[in-house]
Structure 1
């Protein structure tokens, strides 16, 4: 047995010395540590080790891989009497990635029908408005299906606050803003005549030969077509903000792919926009 000293980085946690083995999986230690800290959920706890930064030469915290052992995480014990230190941080209340995405995408699926059928009068809507409503509903139904049956998430949870921040993007911009400004104009006009919407691998094909994240690129193209279809200012605002946000995500993940795969990763592949970015 060896000794692992877990130092807290948050006031809600306390230091604990763990008798373990180099081959013990980190997740098992995190679960035990959480139980020793008022039965705190392991999803709230982040274990790190200190490593020297290659550029600044200063120590930095590196997150441990919970599915690997201490030894596989580079924590080497010289003998059974040796001890090593790791650090624990309380991340606060967490929520699963899948649930966050389900909550995000259900907003437009609720808001568009409520406004389309409830507040406004669908009988007076133009063909453009009707097609816009159908496209929005199909898009977010597809998103819910993909979240439930297709997507695999690298992390189990994220901070609970993110559900409010992320949902605001979809509930307000692509939900309330699009619905009100697309379906309302004819309704206002008709109201004058009140009587009468975990392991990373290098993918190839289906757009991946050009960019790392063709899903973001094609979604931007889809929203561009949507904006061109109805030429509504709110559609252009959503297209702009959504595309910028998706590019930020793509650039960050693309950089991680380059670091993770090195020379194996295709040199000419861009992050999101073919041949450009």
Structure 2
């Protein structure tokens, strides 16, 4: 089969196979919900401080910066712990744990020192998302552990191609996050159209590079679970970028360049 040229055989465990399907369907559904306007509460085009919401829920909100740390810290800790739980593994396995740990460490650093926040998010949503990220990362690592000793290896070893894509993706993602962080100066809370980098072509180049990063992770792992997770992430970020572009068009009208796409230059 063609798939055997690129992926390890699926491990004989119902949990991994079920998680692969669940993550794929959940992420595709989330992307669709974003596209039709059912946005996540931490998106900027959702007013997390809506005064029409019940007053008692205000006690269950976190500052956005703290909420984002809740998103990423558990997954970072899963990566760190994995080095101790799975010592003396092959280069691919060490590479997988390393890139996942670096990915979430970079996210934490951005939350602390790059991104600017002004709103709040619901505590239960932050905890749910943080735990789901951590479970996905733990499952990815476990799937890799089960696959590394498989007698049937992929026909093509893509881990170094994947490493190159990962480095390009994480660098491009950080660069455009940095540009976004400088759009609003000091205490300015008015949204502006970002300029520079690839923002003149797409409104979400940080998502585009995040997809490149995830494709790189898939090439390093070469497991069915990671492939499903990456495919689902692509659909999620397509929906989110579409919603982001729609928000900018509604807010800025003719000031927003009609040739600026959502995610892929000249195409989408």
TM range (shorter): 0.5 to 0.7
Give the conservation status (yes or no) of the 8 Å contact 2:75–2:130: no
Using the size of structure 2 for normalisation, the TM-score is 0.62
Indicate the SS of the match to 2:50. strand
Shift of 1:270: 1.1
Indicate the SS of the match to 1:138. helix
Give the conservation status (yes or no) of the 8 Å contact 1:105–1:143: yes
Q: Which has the higher strand share?
A: 1
Indicate the SS of the match to 2:199. coil
* Structure 2 residues without counterparts, runs of 5 or longer: 1-46, 152-188
Per-residue CA distance 1:254-273 (angstroms, 9 max, x = gap) = 11101111111111111122
Q: Which residue of 1 aligns with 2:262?
A: 271
Distance 1:228 1:187, change over 3 A: closer
Distance 1:251 1:261, change over 3 A: same
- In 1, distance between residues paired with 2:243 and 2:259? 17
Q: Which residue of 2 aligns with 1:130?
A: 94
* Structure 1 residues without counterparts, runs of 5 or longer: 1-42, 49-87, 190-197
5 Å-filtered alignment, 1:165-244, equals 165-173=128-136, 175-186=137-148, 198-244=189-235
2:160 is equivalent to residue 164 of structure 1: no
2:223 is equivalent to residue 261 of structure 1: no
- In 1, distance between residues paired with 2:103 and 2:48? 33
Q: How many residues align?
A: 183
Per-residue CA distance 1:204-261 (angstroms, 9 max, x = gap) = 2212122101111100111101101221112112212222222222222211101111
Between 1 and 2, higher relative CO (CA 8 Å, sep ≥ 6) is seen in 2
Greater Rg over alpha carbons, structure? 1
Shift of 1:188: 9.0
- In 1, distance between residues paired with 2:48 and 2:244? 23
Q: Which residue of 1 aligns with 2:67?
A: 100
- In 1, distance between residues paired with 2:81 and 2:66? 23
Distance 1:186 1:225, change over 3 A: closer
Distance 1:95 1:181, change over 3 A: same
Q: What is the Cα-based RMSD across aligned positions, in Å?
A: 2.4
5 Å-filtered alignment, 1:20-99, equals 46-47=50-51, 89-90=54-55, 92=57, 93-99=60-66
Per-residue CA distance 1:6-45 (angstroms, 9 max, x = gap) = xxxxxxxxxxxxxxxxxxxxxxxxxxxxxxxxxxxxx996
Indicate the SS of the match to 1:242. helix
